[in-house]
Structure 1
Amino acid sequence: MSINRRDFLKTTAGSAAVASTLSIFPEVVEAKIGELAYEGEAGKWMSSTCQGCTSWCAIQGLVVDGKVVKIRGNPNSPSGGRICPRPHLALQQVYDPDRVKTPLKRTNPKKGKGVDPKFVPISWDEAINTIADKIMELINAGETHKYLLMRGRYTYMNEIMYNTFPKLIGSPNNISHSAICAEAEKFGRYYTEGYWDYADADLDNCKYLLAWGWDGIASNRQTPWFMNQLGYMKDKARITVIDPRLSATASKADRWLPIIPGMDGALQMAIAHVILSEGRWNKTFVGNFTDKINYFIPEKEVPSELEVEGKVIPVVFEENHTHGVVAWWNLELKDRTPEWAEKLTGISAKEIKEVAREFAAAGSRAISWVSPGASMQVRGAYSSFGGHALNGLVGSVDAEGGILQGSSAPSAKMPDYKPYLNEQLEKALKQKKIDQRGTKGFPALNKKSGGGVVTSRVAQAMMDKDPYDIKVAIGYWNNFVFSINGSNVWEKAMEQLPFFAHVTTNIAEMSMYADIVLPAKMHLFERYGFVKNKQNMYGYMSIHQPLIKPYGEAKTDETEVPFLLAQALAKKGFDGPLRYFQDNFKDIETGKTPETSEEFDLNVVKFLSKPVWDGSSNDKGDTINSWNELLEKGVWKTKKYKPGKKIDNFKTETKKFEFYSETLKKVMIEHAEKNKITVDEAFEAANYTCRGELGFVPHYEEVVRHGDEATYPFIFSEHRSRLNREGRSQNCSWYYEIKDVDPGDVANKDVTKINPLDGKKLGLKDGDKIKISSPQGSLESEVKLWEGTRPGVVIKCYGQGHWAYGRVGSEVFGAKPRGGNNNAILFHDYERLSGANPRHGGLSRVKIEKI
């Protein structure tokens, strides 16, 4: 897999030539992309950022003669310069010959899966003017709220395209992908400690890690740092992984609990029951009964008072830094014994007790890490709530060796857009959002009713025209047709959308419904931008900058495209967006007004990142005193976080860590009153079974599965690959060649993993072709008999199954997928309290047929 420099340059030049002549529907094309490597390291290392997952790691690329040929971690990064396989795959992405080279226009008015759009190349002027004309039609008709912006992954430059531009043209419909990513995971942290974000952790001092569906070696949340730390943690800590699949992390753990999918909440309640009933909670953090007697007795409520020798004596639990532990026991935990949980989870009562004792013994140095696997379920908000509540029981919240909120890097605030609005636009912004957030059936409780987003609801709302119809839409860095449960629902929604423009690096399933396709610069190598994140107890800002010239006529989706649209709109008589951009984003050094999209792009990134490069934040972290210094170093990080500052200062109603969430109670009451229903009716509308006070404590909710067991005898479960670059690496040959780095998977194939016991019953052997069907749909796959799969569960990696994603990612582009898309069989449903997409928890039952 190495070639010399001359051959490398010949390969990439040839790839560019192929791309310029490639038809949209090639009949026969060799399924291979030029392999990239470089013998030697002559050249310049330049800093940028990988966004292959939400770790958002700072990287450096080796640039030789205008080509990036090698990737390494940035030594200034909080991860210590470590990276995972994902940024290496980006080399094949940026030099992918199937990238969109020039704007394209649809010439076939018919839209549908497998329908050739008959795209033809057009100029940027024609493309931008076509979109601007559609926006002007909405402005002139007083229907600007019928414009929709759909954002996928993003940099912090999204403040322009996603947040501000829709408002400047009078639309409330800036819809983020966030709900298909991890909103339910954040739910538990917010309604216990008032923190809606991803967590950080003190892995250096951790003594016990309880990982709920989290495969830290492979996917999301500090992946390179955890990969590095795992070996050290093995020497001083115990790791327990709860997952129906033997993941990469589970294979290295001290204990693997192959839970029945969706039963995380039951296991959490049983662990909490053991900790309290056996008196193992952290009494310094939580508190204790004033008489030092443990009244957490199985199957009994903690009494408010006792009669002793004719005297009535109050039973008092004096809490220190928490709120509501007795209420939690009385409402839920008293009956949640390990024996009860064993029947639901498939984990023995003996092992549940052992895990609970181990976890509690580590005290404030124990971490219960809740991932999307445990929380992105139809009723997963309470699995998130329960998993994080365990940290409260052992006092590991904001503690050394525990789970942390962490620090954040500073950035500039966006200038106020309101002075650029007229009365018509202000009125339009008050229209309801298309995703129906905050309505009776979709609370989306991100800090308030309707504060979140219900991304997957957009498709059905568009088809129902509820609360109105969408006429013009733009999407960027997204592929919802492929990436959301019930992909056929999105296919139908996009078929009936009157006008859609897609800004993308590659033609993908969503592009096939577009009227205009705009070529985007690739985030890692070709554009400016920055992101903010946390890792290893540091908050940081990591920069994007062009390492190489952009492919073809590509432009930056988040800045250049809206600026070009603003210029076109101004020429058509609507100059608000252009005035806003030019008034507020002049060159910081010269004061020059931006006249081109490239000038605007650079001005914006310098403006928004200024607090970390102008020297004003040097006392808070790294020392950087110029823009060029930031580009060179690539990353600015805070001083190391010091635990303990949040204790008794949580942003909850009580300022304490809430087992009984007064914060959730307040928000649910407000949501119910807004919708003129009772709180119990609100829980019912959100598809939760809890009523009354039970809704305000962590509790077990019966799992939701679609499909009856008699017809669909198996539970379907999916996982992420350590090679998935946000689902965009499937047109890379390297992805397939090394796919067996994921435990149980096979190189160059898309397999479904079945326990050998189940395989024997079905008469299946390795390599057999099968059809997997659910009430939602079906896909075809190959069998891999593997002991790392829990019996009764079939497991498949997410990512393959593209019917439109290039010569490698699709078997026949536009017609036949390579592998199967899990979203074809995952039921189109919702986790309504957070708005999240429930892709885990055994949502769909399936049947398997040999073909």
Structure 2
Amino acid sequence: MSRNKTSGISRREFLKVMGSTGAALGLGLSATSGNKVLAEEDPYEVLPEGEHKSGEWVPTGCAGCTSWCSLEANVVDGRVIKIRGNSRSKVNGESSCPRSHLSLQQVYDPDRIKRPMKRTNPEKGRDVDPEFVPISWEEAFEEIADKIIELRENGESHKFVLWRGRYTRLRDILYGILPEFVGSPNKISHSSICAEAEKFGPYYTEGYWAYRDYDLQNSDYILIWGTDPIQSNRQVSLYSREWGNILEGARIATVDPRFSRTAAKSNEWLPVKPGEDGALALAMAHVILTEGLWHKEFVGDFVDGENKFTAGEEVDEDEFEENYTHGVVKWWNEELKDRTPEWAADKTGIPAEQIVRVAAEFGEAAPHACVFMGGGGVMQTRGGYNSMAIHGLNGLVGSIDNEGGAVRGASVPNQSFPDHSEFLDDISREGLDHEMIDRRGRLEFPAFKDGESGGGVVTNLSADGIIEEDPYEIKMGIGYWNNFNFAAPETERWDEAMSKLDFYVHLVTHQSEMTQYADIVIPSTHHMFEQWGMLYQKGNLHTHFWLSRPMINRHWELIEPEAEFSWLLAEKLAEKGYSNMLDYFKTIVDPETGEEPEDYREFAKYATKHYMQPVWDPEMESHGDQFDGWEDFKEAGVWNSDEFEFQQYWGEFTNSTGDFEFYSETLKEALEEHAEKHDVSIEEVLEACKYEAEGELAFLPHYEEPYTVGDDEEYPLLLVDSKSALNREGRSANANWYYDLKDIDPGDSTEADVIKIHPRDAEELGLEDGDEVVVSSPAGEITCQLNVWEAVKPGTASKTFGMGHWAYGRVAAEDFADGEPRGGNNNEIIPAEYERLSGSTSFYSHIKVNIERA
């Protein structure tokens, strides 16, 4: 592609073009000529006249975080003006969190991408202007299809990658199916920069790899561990409403190095040293056993009824009879007997007497006691065993799938899309046999999802795969609803990788950092108001499944990025002689009429109806809410499961033994399989994964010395990364309200991006409150404002993630036209490290930083 200086436009001119294009379309004028791909009349799902009267509340849902709340939008004259929770939902009900309201500024943001754009500057880099020019839909899909056909004809279909960020369940079309028709194994989700280490512990104890629900309303004692459920974790809407009631019924202790919003609204704060979460969990388990506070109905008891768990002394396994657990005595003998509160106090910075008291109170509340585990204590380089130890506390007190505890949640009725394998040709099948670009399943990256070597994903490592052309060169990529150049640690790697990528297509609402490396930019719909979609999530002992649908006119030239984009690309590929994908898409028919979709709009709607059919079709069996058909369900906008039944998995856990495994036979089998695959020992696998365990400890929750990056003298502070209450998966940064309300994050200031340290550390570093500072680590440096705050653990620096954009729009960036960031992006100073057993990216405990006056 040659550089065209006469047709290319600068970033500053780009904003002008976007503004004028928006004005033209707002007046009903055509901004694109020669468009044969989209319908000539009105290419969008326009609301039938009178369907939404002035002030009508229309059901929808929010994918702004993994709370996935069911909501309603108030539509007035075709424009959405208010948001509230959907009272029909038994999960979040009428409640909604602050983030949902930011969607109003997102959907009507003047900086949204309003039409297809094409890069005219072949050079790529952070400081390089792409010189985007507007193009027709015809030209956009022509170029994309040509690149796919070229790869397939050259035997290089595997050199294609599809990156997914946030999604709706229509993801199964674009993310799940499209790459296979191209002929590539490379489907790379964002999951391992989200939560995989958090799922590791529950899977290798009880065989459950998914998000959990928590019956906090019936708990007597709650340990919030490395998360902030009233600010940034799942079910923020529910807990924001219920927290006062929960506090009245339970004692709450929060384990977190930072003074979070949840810590501020707890009875007790345990400011653990970053990385030492495992030590604290093991010491608490030690106390529960030595004090005889384990839940005997679930765990079992000594045959003679006498507690023989004494510090430092081994126990004969034959003297203990277990009920629904496996290996509690082995755990004691191999690890717990020496993990005293005094030992942990030295590691964690938490006084031994506090450890004893909190652990005893937690055990005394059994089984109505609950550990609510998040990423902070486990998304660490050696955090997999922390995950097992922290979740193991739930096992000791019998709160697994029990009233007041941590539960799996109810299942969701849905219908997979038809099998597409018979539509794949030889090129596709051959391409799928290649190794994936994120290197999952290699010796040093087991990524054990569901016990399978390479079953997970190592999202952030795909950048290295491109840079090093290992296992091969990647020539083409498509990404949607993602921005890894901002959201993944050690961002300069992504800048290098995307500069190297020959052809990239980005489907997004805003021109983000990752978009700066795109060759074709596809303007995408907002999921809450402009497209079909659906998601399900659990909470409040129920699981809900909500529907979003077009409820306002699309003011600009937008398409939905999952189903609509896939259909339009399939049509263009069919024009070029490869009709397989389009032929398959036509098998996804309207479940009510049996009619095939005739265009991309019908395809998105029919796919939604098909996937959700068990919910709304009265002829299909389904638990939970019952509906009389599609229109009846559309009016409600949400389905609710029956209430979760406690103890239904006791003795039938989905792991190797069927019991809750303190000694994980499930992990042992996975490690043995992976070691045999690479012809090494299990110890060599763990060493490659940066763990230190040997022998039986490999299969038990155990202590690992925290892994850190950086010299202590050069980088004296440990960084504590946290998430803002206003982050909509990072997509709220171009909304003015984000900055007006930034002090909702404890210790932060409105308008400013800040890093917080304790007064004692400020004095030692010669810094003062309000200083502009440079924060450096072995990975890079950023500039931001210093806030001196007593509620920071000495020896740490706490910074909220969310600011630091150099693209994304005129509000998010200090100077969008010149690429000047507003504040500093945490990920520029977080080294790229991994919890390799799960594939999870490490965000916590390993980052050493220094702070100097700018």
- Distance in 2, Cα, partners of 1:777 & 1:135: 36
Gaps of 5+ in 2: 1-15, 25-52
Q: What's the counterpart of residue 541 of structure 2?
A: 537
Contact 1:173 1:433 in 2 (8 A): yes
Contact 1:471 1:499 in 2 (8 A): yes
User: Could you tell me the TM-score, scaled by structure 1's length?
Assistant: 0.93
Q: What's the counterpart of residue 646 of structure 2?
A: 643
Q: 2:87 aligns with which of 75, 81, 87?
A: 75
Q: 1:696 aligns with which of 677, 686, 699?
A: 699
Q: What's the counterpart of residue 8 of structure 1?
A: none
- Distance in 1, Cα, partners of 2:18 & 2:362: 55
Contact 1:19 1:97 in 2 (8 A): no
Q: 1:580 aligns with which of 580, 584, 592?
A: 584
Is residue 603 of structure 1 aligned with residue 606 of structure 2? yes
1:21 and 1:516, CA in 2 relative to 1: closer, same or farther beyond 3 A?
A: farther
Give 3-state SS (helix, strand or coil) of 1:419's partner: helix
Contact 1:277 1:297 in 2 (8 A): yes
1:418 and 1:255, CA in 2 relative to 1: closer, same or farther beyond 3 A?
A: same
Q: 1:140 aligns with which of 146, 149, 153?
A: 153
Q: What's the counterpart of residue 622 of structure 1?
A: 625
How do residues 784-823 of structure 1 correspond to structure 2 at under 5 angstroms?
Answer: 784-813=787-816, 814-823=818-827
- Distance in 1, Cα, partners of 2:846 & 2:731: 24
- Distance in 1, Cα, partners of 2:58 & 2:127: 41
Code of the residue aligned with 1:751 in structure 2: it is V
Q: What's the counterpart of residue 369 of structure 1?
A: 372
Contact 1:168 1:417 in 2 (8 A): no
- Distance in 2, Cα, partners of 1:102 & 1:423: 36
Q: What's the counterpart of residue 51 of structure 1?
A: 63
Contact 2:615 2:622 in 1 (8 A): no
Select between 758-767 and 745-754 the one with higher mean Cα deviation: 758-767
Contact 2:458 2:840 in 1 (8 A): yes
Contact 1:15 1:96 in 2 (8 A): no
Q: What's the counterpart of residue 46 of structure 2?
A: none
Select between 327-336 and 227-236 the one with higher mean Cα deviation: 227-236
Select between 592-601 and 481-490 the one with higher mean Cα deviation: 592-601
- Distance in 2, Cα, partners of 1:201 & 1:370: 10
- Distance in 2, Cα, partners of 1:224 & 1:769: 35
Is residue 749 of structure 1 aligned with residue 752 of structure 2? yes
Q: CA deviation at 1:716?
A: 0.6
Q: 2:231 aligns with which of 204, 218, 222?
A: 218
Contact 1:15 1:97 in 2 (8 A): no
Code of the residue aligned with 2:757 in structure 1: it is I
Q: 2:715 aligns with which of 699, 712, 723?
A: 712
Q: What's the counterpart of residue 35 of structure 1?
A: none
Code of the residue aligned with 1:660 in structure 2: it is Y
Q: What's the counterpart of residue 33 of structure 1?
A: none
Is residue 64 of structure 1 aligned with residue 76 of structure 2? yes
Is residue 479 of structure 1 aligned with residue 483 of structure 2? yes
Code of the residue aligned with 1:436 in structure 2: it is R
Q: CA deviation at 1:17?
A: 4.6
Code of the residue aligned with 2:83 in structure 1: it is I
Is residue 269 of structure 1 aligned with residue 269 of structure 2? no
Q: CA deviation at 1:16?
A: 8.1
Is residue 407 of structure 1 aligned with residue 410 of structure 2? yes
Q: CA deviation at 1:222?
A: 1.2
Q: CA deviation at 1:484?
A: 0.5
Contact 1:18 1:97 in 2 (8 A): no
Give 3-state SS (helix, strand or coil) of 2:224's partner: strand
Q: What's the counterpart of residue 684 of structure 2?
A: 681
Code of the residue aligned with 1:430 in structure 2: it is D
1:16 and 1:573, CA in 2 relative to 1: closer, same or farther beyond 3 A?
A: closer
Code of the residue aligned with 1:47 in structure 2: it is P
Q: CA deviation at 1:409?
A: 1.5
User: Could you tell me the TM-score, scaled by structure 2's length?
Assistant: 0.93
Code of the residue aligned with 2:253 in structure 1: it is T
- Distance in 1, Cα, partners of 2:596 & 2:283: 63
Q: What's the counterpart of residue 636 of structure 2?
A: 633
Q: CA deviation at 1:15?
A: 12
- Distance in 1, Cα, partners of 2:19 & 2:440: 47
Q: Deviations over 1:190-227 (max 9, x none)?
A: 00100000011112211111011111110121111111
Is residue 353 of structure 1 aligned with residue 351 of structure 2? no
Is residue 344 of structure 1 aligned with residue 357 of structure 2? no
Give 3-state SS (helix, strand or coil) of 1:807's partner: coil
Code of the residue aligned with 1:117 in structure 2: it is P
Q: 1:493 aligns with which of 492, 497, 501?
A: 497
Contact 2:412 2:545 in 1 (8 A): yes
CA-based RMSD = 1.5
Contact 2:158 2:183 in 1 (8 A): yes
Code of the residue aligned with 2:312 in structure 1: it is E
Code of the residue aligned with 2:486 in structure 1: it is F
- Distance in 1, Cα, partners of 2:528 & 2:786: 36
Q: CA deviation at 1:760?
A: 2.0
Q: What's the counterpart of residue 239 of structure 1?
A: 252
- Distance in 1, Cα, partners of 2:634 & 2:233: 25
- Distance in 1, Cα, partners of 2:84 & 2:562: 26
Code of the residue aligned with 1:456 in structure 2: it is N
Code of the residue aligned with 2:72 in structure 1: it is Q
Code of the residue aligned with 1:494 in structure 2: it is M
Give 3-state SS (helix, strand or coil) of 2:441's partner: coil
- Distance in 2, Cα, partners of 1:619 & 1:524: 26
Q: CA deviation at 1:294?
A: 2.0
Give 3-state SS (helix, strand or coil) of 1:503's partner: strand
- Distance in 2, Cα, partners of 1:629 & 1:102: 35
Q: CA deviation at 1:637?
A: 0.7
Q: CA deviation at 1:18?
A: 5.2
- Distance in 2, Cα, partners of 1:348 & 1:159: 49
Give 3-state SS (helix, strand or coil) of 1:71's partner: strand
Give 3-state SS (helix, strand or coil) of 1:172's partner: coil
Q: Deviations over 1:143-175 (max 9, x none)?
A: 111110000001000010000111122111111
1:757 and 1:19, CA in 2 relative to 1: closer, same or farther beyond 3 A?
A: farther
Q: CA deviation at 1:20?
A: 3.7
Give 3-state SS (helix, strand or coil) of 2:785's partner: strand
Q: 2:519 aligns with which of 515, 521, 525?
A: 515
How do residues 123-272 of structure 1 correspond to structure 2 at under 5 angstroms?
Answer: 123-272=136-285
Q: What's the counterpart of residue 553 of structure 2?
A: 549
Contact 2:663 2:700 in 1 (8 A): yes
Contact 1:408 1:540 in 2 (8 A): no
Give 3-state SS (helix, strand or coil) of 2:544's partner: strand
Q: CA deviation at 1:655?
A: 0.3
- Distance in 2, Cα, partners of 1:524 & 1:18: 25
- Distance in 2, Cα, partners of 1:17 & 1:462: 35
Q: CA deviation at 1:586?
A: 2.2
Select between 291-300 and 465-474 the one with higher mean Cα deviation: 291-300
- Distance in 2, Cα, partners of 1:358 & 1:648: 27
Q: CA deviation at 1:42?
A: 4.8
Paired positions, count: 808
